[in-house]
Amino acid sequence: MQRGFEIVSKYADQGLTLPYRTTKQSAGYDFECATDFTLPSIWRHDVLHAFKQLRHREALTTDELTAGQHDLKPYLVPTGIKAYMQPGEVLILANRSSNPLKHQLVLPNGVGVIDADYYNNEKNEGEIFVQLLNFGLRDVVIKKGQRIAQGIFMPYLRVDDEQAPQQERIGGFGSSDRT
Ligand SMILES: O=c1ccn([C@H]2C[C@H](O)[C@@H](COP(=O)(O)OP(=O)(O)OP(=O)(O)O)O2)c(=O)[nH]1
Ligand SMILES: [Mg+2]
């Protein structure tokens, strides 16, 4: 067993498909979305409303500007998949180039770095999530089984005389932050 994908336990009976390469020389294993998932537009209606009002008036009051204000944040789209690999290997999660063109979806983190020690971590069993941001004007509905990103296994290098880290990974998404 060198490297591969498994379905995380909570999705065991959901008929998920393991990531797959689509053409003979594809580098990336395409990941499908584990559930139907709606990605709200970053231009929520309250922001659009404020813009419309601004066209007719000089300024908005502070109250009007902050009414219904939302936190702009990326969404974590579930894949239901975990990946195992050898020490010295990493899975790079990249966007599909069709996502921005057809669905107005970008990866705000540029690429996702899936570490070997994320596999089976105590917090979420190593489930891989795809961070996505919908920069379009309309909400985007991703259907279960729709391909959302691709993963490429790669070797990585270490510097000379490195003091090896001792910390165990307990999760992802900032789990190693001290504050
Ligand atoms: O798009 C992503 C990026 C990361 N991860 C998971 C796998 C990875 O091993 C872990 C940590 O990622 P990273 O080190 O890039 O994030 P961090 O902000 O440094 O979090 P941590 O403190 O947990 O390392 O989160 C994903 O599922 N999807
Ligand atoms: Mg990290």
Instruction: Return the residue whose CA atom lies nearest to atom 25 of ligand 1.
Output: 172
126 within 8 A of 120, measured Cβ to Cβ: yes
Question: For residue 124, which ligand has an atom nearest its CA?
Answer: 1
Q: How far is the CA of 19 from the centre of ligand 1 (A)?
A: 19
Q: Is residue 118 part of a domain?
A: yes
Q: Is residue 175 part of a domain?
A: no
What range defines the domain where residue 26 resides?
4-42+71-155
Q: How far is the CA of 179 from the centre of ligand 2 (A)?
A: 14
**CA–CA separation, 151 and 166 (whole Å):** 27
CB atoms within 10 A of CB 50: 17
DSSP string computed for 60-71: --HHHHHTT---
Question: For residue 173, which ligand has an atom nearest its CA?
Answer: 1
pLDDT score at 68:
57
pLDDT score at 110:
95
Any residues with CB less than 8 A from the CB of 164 and at least 6 apart, and which?
none
pLDDT score at 67:
61
Q: Is residue 179 part of a domain?
A: no
Q: How far is the CA of 172 from the centre of ligand 2 (A)?
A: 7
| Predicted model pTM | 0.90
Q: Is residue 57 part of a domain?
A: no
pLDDT tens per residue across span 59-116: 667 776 666 555 667 899 999 999 999 999 999 999 999 999 999 999 999 999 999 9
Q: Is the pLDDT of residue 7 over 90?
A: yes
**CA–CA separation, 68 and 51 (whole Å):** 14
pLDDT tens per residue across span 18-69: 999 999 999 999 999 999 999 988 887 667 767 777 777 666 677 766 665 5
Q: Is residue 129 part of a domain?
A: yes
- Phi and psi for 133 in degrees, rounded to 5? -130, 130
Q: Is residue 25 part of a domain?
A: yes
Question: For residue 130, which ligand has an atom nearest its CA?
Answer: 1
Q: Is residue 162 part of a domain?
A: no
Q: Say how many domains are in the chain.
A: 1
Q: How far is the CA of 129 from the centre of ligand 2 (A)?
A: 14
Instruction: Return the residue whose CA atom lies nearest to atom 11 of ligand 1.
Output: 172
Atom of ligand 1 nearest to the CA of 127: 27
Atom of ligand 1 nearest to the CA of 177: 22
Length of the chain: 179
CATH number, domain at 144?
Answer: 2.70.40.10
Instruction: Return the residue whose CA atom lies nearest to atom 10 of ligand 1.
Output: 172
Distances (CA, A) of 29 to 75, 129, 144: 21, 14, 17
DSSP string computed for 105-144: EE-TTSSEEEEGGGTT-TTTTT--EEEEEE-SSS-EEEPT
Instruction: Return the residue whose CA atom lies nearest to atom 27 of ligand 1.
Output: 128
pLDDT tens per residue across span 102-139: 999 999 999 999 999 999 999 999 999 999 999 998 99
Q: Is the pLDDT of residue 171 over 70?
A: yes
Q: Is residue 161 part of a domain?
A: no
Place of tokens 């393991």: 18
